[in-house]
Amino acid sequence: MCRTEMIKQAFAKQFGYQAEQVSHAPGRVNLIGDHTDYNLGFVLPAAINFGTNVAIAKRDDNTIRVLAHDLDNQICEFELTELLFNPDLMWINYVAGVVYVLQKAGLVLQGTDIVISGNVPQGAGLSSSASLQVALIKAFSDLFKLQIDGFTAAKLAQQAENEFVGCNCGIMDQSISAMGAHSHAMLLDCQDLTFQDAPIPENLAIVIVNSNVKRGLVESEYNQRREQCEQVAKHFNVSALRAVTLAELESEQANLSELDYKRARHVITENQRTLDALAALKANDVSQLGRLMNASHDSLKDDFSTSTAEMDCLVSLIQSQIAEQGGARMTGGGFGGCVVAVMPKALVEAVTQNVKAQYQEQTGLRADVYVCAAVQGAFRA
């Protein structure tokens, strides 16, 4: 049974009538450009064929009832007029956060019944939360004919996470979930939200490997990295590191702490690698793309200190097998989570088998492998 039919059946079983709308938004993987988004730089994500479905229908009151189909069918309800953070049921805050920002934007809603279901691996850094929030905004937009466009949806989803959920995220995850294109990655300028589609060669596979390292300390470490970047921007009297060149940074090295210097060096060089990766994709130069991805991992490990021994192990295993035919790097916030690799489709099976066996032998952990396709975003026409 397809996921759309499954969620329709779950809705009818729970609420006793048919859903009016079913929406979908994909998760994402970032091919290159990590920790650049909140520095108003460049990112190169792709929307992937793992995502979140939302079934929804209007009620005739102000109550929002929500069933989380994948979380043991937990159900929660709240009133449109009483939007409070729930510390005991974290998932409902993503729903309430979306309702909060839609109402704050002056959009008129009424009560709804909702079922949510997704297959984005949780806690792996593949944007299950952004996928959920974009799918919810798409559902509300279609149900109430709100005429929200893709980047408005992305900004609303980011606002919900920043202001209601309490995570100080950038704009990348929501933008690609809303506006990704089939068989393309997206070069997104996080300063002005302009973008270019970047074609992914037909013979190339995007492979995501979950290290299954539980991502502890993510929020505190993430916020610390962000503060360090902001500190360097302040030193240069600019609003974000996007405006600082590598030459300018190097000229001020003596006046910065070693940590702040390294954090900024990663961001500045990662921005250039991301622009170079766009050019490599457009030129169908997979070897160059691979070199840039490998260099990105080294920078995240050595300058930004967001990798782990297990992720380094995974990257090394993949790189040794694919050589010049692709690349591999950690992706996402770091401190666990996933590695992303690009390689010829013909190599995927052999690489998968070897990586699973070697990784378990070396770390005692199981690696989960997802072979992905780049898909359409929720709001992309």
Q: Which residues are annotated as a binding site?
A: 123-129, 161, 222
Please give the structure tokens belonging to residue 349: 């099976």
DSSP 346: G
In Å, how far from its chain's centre is CA 13? 32
Quote the CA–CA distance of 96 and 93 in Å, as a whole number: 5
Q: Which amino acid is at 258?
A: E
- Tokens 């408005």, residue located: 152
Q: How far apart are CA 19 and CA 5, in angstroms?
A: 11
Enzyme catalytic residues: 173
Does an H or E element contain 53, and which? strand 42-58
Provide CB contacts within 8 A for 122, sequence distance 6+: 128
Residue type at 331 in one-letter notation: T
Long-range CB contacts (within 8 A, 24+) of 259-264: 259/228, 260/228, 260/231, 260/232, 260/235, 261/232, 262/302, 262/303, 262/304, 262/305, 263/225, 263/228, 263/229, 263/232, 263/303, 263/304, 264/228, 264/229, 264/232
**Rounded CA gap, 369 and 266, in Å?**
28
Give the burial string for 219-244 (b: 16+ CB within 10 Å, else e): eebbeebbebbeebbeebeeebbbeb
Residue 368 near residue 138, CB atoms below 8 Å: no
Cα separation values, 24 from 7, 20, 52, 193, Å: 11, 14, 6, 22
| CA dist., res. 325 & res. 18, Å (int) | 49
Q: What residues are designated binding site for ATP? A: 123-129
Per the structure block, which two tokens stand in for 190?
């996080």
Binding residues for Mg(2+): 129, 161
Rounded Cα distance, 195 and 171, in Å = 13
